[in-house]
Structures are given as structure tokens and as C-alpha cells.
């Protein structure tokens, strides 16, 4: 079966702008476990800059930020023509604030406190709606990836994946048949503040081969990897 990738191009990069360290750590862990690559900013100035200069698919943006309020961050992004999806967080639930945020260009609004799995589900729904395509899965040979649900099957049998394995597999599947170097994988599946090591890529590729079949990912000596035919 030929490759079909009809939703997102590789790993999904999320910018999380939140000044509460404990909340940021807890939610970031859930997002990473769900297969997202997460970069965090702790204030509005840094969040605005990262969203303006980085290639993010979506942002989770708190309104009550130091240095630059979240609403101003959102307005600056939209004024600059940034099209990343934005899910706003706020401890306030007044309907007038919701109206202001949505009018400023937010795509969704979640009131604190919330459950991290709900946030993950809301992000996935946003990404599906924001996609130009209507389907959300890709397949190569016996391997099928349901992008929206983060589920992988081989010949119809579910295969458990860690978040990092899922990120690497997604990147491979989008580039099925193409040469992918280790440096390219490292650049696209690790957040900016993560330790990057080519040896760990080799470990993850070995794990994917064990789960998907040894011939699924071939090594091109001195150049990288090729997934699929």
C-alpha cells in the first residue's frame, strides 16, 4: 500500500507559554507522552518571540503572563500574520474575556483548573480541524498510523509506542522512500532544551525495527535511514 499522510508533516511542535513551573512541567509531560514535541516559554516576551520566529504547529498560551500579557502576545502574532493554532488558558471564566480572546484570533479557550488529558484532546481536535485535509492517518505497507489518536497497528494488530518512538515514526512515514539523516531526525523530534545525541536515535530506530519489522527501516551507510519502499 502506498504512503498516505493526510494531516501533519512529521512531529507536531507545540509552544507552551506558561509562567507556573509546576503546571508547565505537569502539562508538558502529558503532551510529550501524547507524542508532541514541546518547547516552553515562562513569560510573554519570550513566548511572543518564540512563536514569531519558530515553526510551531500550535501554541498553548496562558493569559496571565509576566512581562507581556497573553492577550497581547496573541494579538501580536495575528497582526504579524502568524497562523499557528492557539489554545488559550485562563483562570478567569467571564464570558466577556472569552469573547475578547476569540475575537483576537484564538482557536479555543480552556479555563483553569483543567485535566491535562482534556487539554491533549482539545489540541488534537484543533489540529484535525486546522488541517487542510480531512483524514488523519498514514500507512506504509503493513504499518498504519492514526495520527489523531496516536495509535499504530501492524497488520491490524495494535503496537505500543513511546512518545519518542511515535514522533520518529511519524517523521519517517511522512518521508517514506526518502533518505533521512540522523541530524534531520534530531532537529525535528527534539525540543530546543533537550539533550541531543545521535546514539539515542540509533536506539530508537532499533526499537522501531523490532516492533514494525527489520526491513521497514533500512540503513544507508554513512547517510542515514530510509523508511518503506
Domain ranges of the chain: 13-130, 137-227
Average pLDDT, the chain: 84
Burial code (b: 16+ CB inside 10 Å, e: under 16) for 44-71 equals bebbbebbeeeebbbbbbbbbbeebebb
Which of 58-67, 132-141, 191-200 has the lowest average pLDDT?
A: 132-141
Full 3-state SS string of 106-142: CCEEEECCCCHHHHHHHHHHHHHHHCCCCCCEEEECC
Residue 176: per-residue pLDDT: 83
Residue with cell 533521512: 180
| Whether CATH 1.10.10.10 fits 137-227 | yes
What is the rounded average pLDDT of the residues 141-166? 86
Residue 136: per-residue pLDDT: 56
pLDDT of 63 strictly over 90: yes
Beta carbons of 104 and 74 less than 8 angstroms apart: yes
3.50.50.60, 3.40.50.2300, 3.40.190.290, 3.40.50.620: CATH of 13-130: 3.40.50.2300
The predicted-structure confidence for 30-39, as pLDDT tens digits, reads as follows: 898 887 889 9
Q: How confident is the model at residue 183 (pLDDT cuts 50, 70, 90)?
A: confident
Beta carbons of 105 and 81 less than 8 angstroms apart: no
Beta carbons of 111 and 91 less than 8 angstroms apart: yes
Q: Which of 80, 31, 24, 86 is closest to 58 using CA atoms?
A: 86
If one counts every other C-beta atom within 10 angstroms of the C-beta of residue 164, the result is 21
Q: Which of 73, 61, 75, 58 is closest to 24 using CA atoms?
A: 61
Beta carbons of 201 and 211 less than 8 angstroms apart: no
pLDDT of 193 strictly over 80: no
Q: Which of 71, 36, 72 is closest to 56 using CA atoms?
A: 36
Residue 10: per-residue pLDDT: 47
Amino acid at each position: 500500500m502506498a504512503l498516505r499522510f493526510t494531516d501533519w508533516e512529521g512531529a507536531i511542535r507545540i509552544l507552551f507559554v506558561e509562567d507556573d513551573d509546576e503546571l508547565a512541567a505537569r502539562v508538558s509531560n502529558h503532551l510529550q507522552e501524547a507524542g508532541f514535541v514541546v518547547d516552553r516559554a515562562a513569560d510573554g516576551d519570550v513566548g511572543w518571540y518564540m512563536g514569531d520566529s519558530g515553526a510551531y504547529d500550535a501554541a498553548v498560551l496562558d493569559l496571565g503572563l509576566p512581562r507581556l500579557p497573553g492577550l497581547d502576545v496573541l494579538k501580536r502574532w495575528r497582526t504579524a500574520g502568524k497562523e499557528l493554532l492557539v489554545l488559550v488558558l485562563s483562570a478567569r471564566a467571564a464570558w466577556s474575556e472569552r469573547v475578547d480572546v476569540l475575537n483576537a484570533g484564538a482557536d479555543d479557550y480552556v479555563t483553569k483548573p483543567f485535566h491535562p488529558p482534556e487539554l491533549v484532546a482539545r489540541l488534537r481536535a484543533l489540529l484535525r480541524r486546522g488541517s487542510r485535509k480531512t483524514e488523519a492517518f498514514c500507512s506504509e505497507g503493513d504499518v498504519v498510523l492514526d495520527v489523531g489518536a496516536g495509535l499504530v497497528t501492524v497488520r491490524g494488530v495494535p503496537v505500543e509506542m513511546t512518545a519518542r518512538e511515535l514522533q520518529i515514526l511519524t517523521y519517517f512515514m511522512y518521508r517514506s522512500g526518502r533518505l533521512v539523516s540522523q541530524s534531520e531526525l534530531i532537529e525535528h523530534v527534539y525540543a530546543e532544551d533537550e539533550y541531543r545525541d545521535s546514539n539515542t536515535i540509533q536506539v530508537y530506530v532499533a526499537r522501531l525495527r523490532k516492533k514494525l519489522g527489520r526491513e521497514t527501516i533500512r540503513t544507508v551507510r554513512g547517510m542515514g535511514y530510509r523508511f518503506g519502499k
